[in-house]
Structure 1
Amino acid sequence: MFDFIDDFYDSLFKPSRGIARVVQERTVWHGLFIYLAVSLVASITSFVGTGTEEAFTGLTQYMDPENAAALMRAWPVLNLLSVIVFYPLLYFVWAAVLQFSSELLGGSGKGLQVATGLGYGQLPYLLVVPFGLIAHYMNYIVPLVSLAAFVWSVVLKVEVLHAVHGFSRGRAALAYFLPALVLVAAIFIFLVLIGSILMPLLAEMFPM
């Protein structure tokens, strides 16, 4: 129990020490448990904070009231199933992607340690829970707190790559954002290619 409290506190507020410890001493199953627990709590809190009446009203815009009511009743079970089935897949895929990008930059750490650290990197989202519960009354503050939790989480995950692979923090940040940069570049190239193909056709179809 006290080990978890130490891990929680140090990972959040002393990441250079806490993250370095958990990637060495905790297993990937600890990381997965933290990841799933935080995701489930944050999801439930978001739903409760929104308010069942507002959620029901929103659903009735896309379906009849009977189906909306049935979906509302089934939501807790559906949410639990999605977390159990899909989140572990997302967890390991993201860890594998970060491990690959780190190896491209010369990293030699273990992928399982990266996965362990990613789980603890989700801990800042727990701090959104109290604000999520009162979101119905303070809508303006929840996006700000969520943004702060997201940035904090990214910082912790960069720290994970720093601890596992021995990178400088600048290189660890590059390894973390490299997949997103590659994706953006690929989309940009795809759009340029599509544009180069379509523009002559459009010019013929709609001559000036």
Structure 2
Amino acid sequence: MENQDGTYGTEREEQIKHVYPEQERDIILNNDELSQNKIANQGSEFNLNSEPESKNEPVQAGILDIIYGTLFDPARTFAGFARNPRIGAAVLIVISINLLEALMGYYTTPRFMQSLRVPGMLEHDYIKLTSMLFAMGGFVFSLGKWFFMSGLLNLLSELFGGKGNARNVFAVYGIAGLPVVFMLPVQVMLMIFPEGFLQTLAAALFGTAIFIWSTVLLVIGLREVHQFSTGKAALVVIIPGGVLIVLAIVFMVIIGATMANPPVGRFI
């Protein structure tokens, strides 16, 4: 493929040019060139059973590197997931976060139930048991949601022409939820300080910011592992939520119409 300056570029280079940010292209292209030069220099003496040189091996990022890169350098981190999704690290991070959320829910649920002020509720000894059930249910639901949503997003991404696979999206969806750890201090604040409008408003705004941050990370992750545009990645993320909102509106309209015009039965 001829470039504007008269040189010729490979199809791989043209694809990367339209997918990755400027600072990422050089890294990926240089890695590809190193691999090609190594094979060319070995020539006929190239041995498939030979051990690769350590200086050309990619550095395996640790869990702390993945956490920091996801929060503050997501494009580079998720670009690496396209080659090596790091399923084990993703599972460890997601389970740790969900366990912390379940533990926090175990301590915050009694306070929430007390705030309901339902007559007779506090006279029973079931509050701790209910809190444990809520915590365990939330943990299982989060893991089930991870499997279901990653599969759905991967299917939608393939329909939009994505190049990734289910392993990539599974890791990306799990890691993209990392910002939720910043909600734990907010939940502690809700437990310590008395209830009030400003406290509730601050918690709602903080929760909205965390949700937007996680959504942006998910869009970036899908863009990198499936190698399509940011617009397509955003559309893939929006479609499931949009469908649920439409279904909820239709359901509410049906319920409202039924209550406004109840069916009249005949008595024989």
Return the TM-score normalized by structure 1: 0.76
The range that moved more, 165-174 or 176-185, is 176-185
- Structure 1 residues 88 and 167, CA, compared in 2 at 3 Å: closer, same or farther? same
- Structure 1 residues 109 and 144, CA, compared in 2 at 3 Å: closer, same or farther? same
Task: Tell me which residue corresponds to 2:163.
Answer: 108
Which residue, out of 225, 230, 234, partners 1:164? 225
Q: What SS is found at the alignment partner of 2:164?
A: coil
Q: What SS is found at the alignment partner of 2:161?
A: coil
- Structure 1 residues 108 and 25, CA, compared in 2 at 3 Å: closer, same or farther? closer
Do residues 85 (structure 1) and 140 (structure 2) align? Answer: yes
- Partners of 1:62 and 1:112 lie apart in 2 by 50
Q: Is the 8 A contact 1:35 1:119 kept in 2?
A: yes
Q: What SS is found at the alignment partner of 2:143?
A: helix
Unaligned runs of 5+ in 1: none
Which residue, out of 19, 32, 44, partners 2:78? 19
Q: Is the 8 A contact 2:153 2:236 kept in 1?
A: yes
- Partners of 2:205 and 2:106 lie apart in 1 by 18
**Higher normalized helix content (fraction of residues):** 1
Higher RCO (Cα < 8 Å, 6 or more apart): 1
Alignment of 1:59-138 (within 5 A): 61=118, 64-67=121-124, 69-73=125-129, 75-76=131-132, 78-135=133-190, 136-137=192-193, 138=199
- Structure 1 residues 42 and 80, CA, compared in 2 at 3 Å: closer, same or farther? closer
- Structure 1 residues 43 and 143, CA, compared in 2 at 3 Å: closer, same or farther? farther
Q: Is the 8 A contact 2:164 2:225 kept in 1?
A: yes
Aligned length: 198
Q: Is the 8 A contact 2:93 2:175 kept in 1?
A: yes
- Partners of 2:101 and 2:136 lie apart in 1 by 15
Task: Tell me which residue corresponds to 2:33.
Answer: none
- Structure 1 residues 188 and 143, CA, compared in 2 at 3 Å: closer, same or farther? closer
- Partners of 2:85 and 2:158 lie apart in 1 by 22
Q: Is the 8 A contact 1:19 1:156 kept in 2?
A: no
- Structure 1 residues 161 and 66, CA, compared in 2 at 3 Å: closer, same or farther? same
- Partners of 1:144 and 1:65 lie apart in 2 by 31
- Structure 1 residues 80 and 191, CA, compared in 2 at 3 Å: closer, same or farther? closer
Task: Tell me which residue corresponds to 2:95.
Answer: 36
Offset of residue 62 of structure 1: 6.6
Q: Provide the identity percentage.
A: 26
Unaligned runs of 5+ in 2: 1-60, 194-198
- Structure 1 residues 177 and 62, CA, compared in 2 at 3 Å: closer, same or farther? farther
Do residues 3 (structure 1) and 65 (structure 2) align? Answer: no
The range that moved more, 90-99 or 100-109, is 100-109
Q: What SS is found at the alignment partner of 1:61?
A: coil
- Partners of 2:222 and 2:95 lie apart in 1 by 21
- Partners of 2:158 and 2:176 lie apart in 1 by 20
- Partners of 2:229 and 2:204 lie apart in 1 by 31
The range that moved more, 22-31 or 182-191, is 182-191
